[in-house]
Homo-oligomer: A and B are copies of this chain.
Amino acid sequence: MSVIAELATELAKLPGIGRKTATRLVYHLLKQPAASVERLALALQAVTRSVRACSTCGNLTEQDPCEFCADQRRDAGLVCVVEEASDIDAIERSGEYRGVYHVLGGHLSPLDGIGPDDLRIGSLLHRVGNGAGIREVIVATNPSMEGEVTATYVRGALDGHGVKVTRIALGLPVGGDLEYADGVTIARALSARRDMGG
């Protein structure tokens, strides 16, 4: 196989990149200065060599504990449980959260053979139980069926640990349009309605 075909094959393994796009990317890269392609290759190698899971929360990081667990200004008594490390970025973008995180590493999915033991639930219970002063666990798994099942399981596993367990609110997205919202979202938004006072 030529090196061009080989690179296209490797690129086509990435999610959302088919064979055609991969070939287009290869020809694009061939038009770039060699130094710029080299930078991409080195960045790939750096990531595989220096990124590890934080031993406390499971976030992907170059330092252990990760930047969030190590940050003294953060509220270590508030833990936000997410499915993937990439979800942390999304929550950080809100600029509203000042607690720490716990990454499950996926969601429960019996059909794919993913049970509770395959997720970092044991280490969550250990964190809650070891007297580190955790007051509240916010379950921020995805608002999908698997995410809801996982949230319910986590809620049950934390029973009797003397910690408050909350779920992020589901409802209409800000800036969204009621007309285009799906029925399930509207039903959730209605049942979670709150008193406006007055």
* Among B16, B21, B41, B47, contact of A4 (Cβ-Cβ < 8 Å): B47
6 A-B pairs (CB sep. < 8 Å): A3-B46, A6-B46, A14-B25, A23-B89, A34-B49, A41-B41
Give chain B nearest CB distance to A118 CB in angstroms: 13
Q: How far is the CA of A89 from the CA of B40 in the complex (A)?
A: 25
Q: Smallest distance from the beta carbon of A40 to chain B beta carbons, Å?
A: 4
**Is the CB of A39 closer than 8 A to any CB of chain B?**
yes
Interface string of A1-23 (1 = CB under 8 A from B): 01110110111011110000101
- Chain A, 31-78, CB within 8 A of any chain B CB: 34, 36-51, 60, 62
Q: How many copies does the complex hold?
A: 2
Give A residues with C-beta under 8 Å from B. 2-4, 6-7, 9-11, 13-16, 21, 23-30, 34, 36-51, 60, 62, 84-86, 89
**Across-interface contacts of A29 in B (CB, < 8 A):** 14, 44, 47-48
Residues of chain B within 8 A (CB-CB) of A42 are 41
**A86 with B44: in contact, given A3-B51, A3-B62, A50-B3 (CB under 8 Å)?**
no
Q: Are B60 and A47 in contact (CB under 8 A)?
A: no
CA distance A9 to B44 in the complex (A): 11
**Given A2-B62, A14-B25, A15-B25, 9 further pairs, Cβ under 8 A:** A3-B62, A4-B62, A15-B28, A16-B24, A27-B60, A27-B85, A30-B47, A37-B47, A44-B44
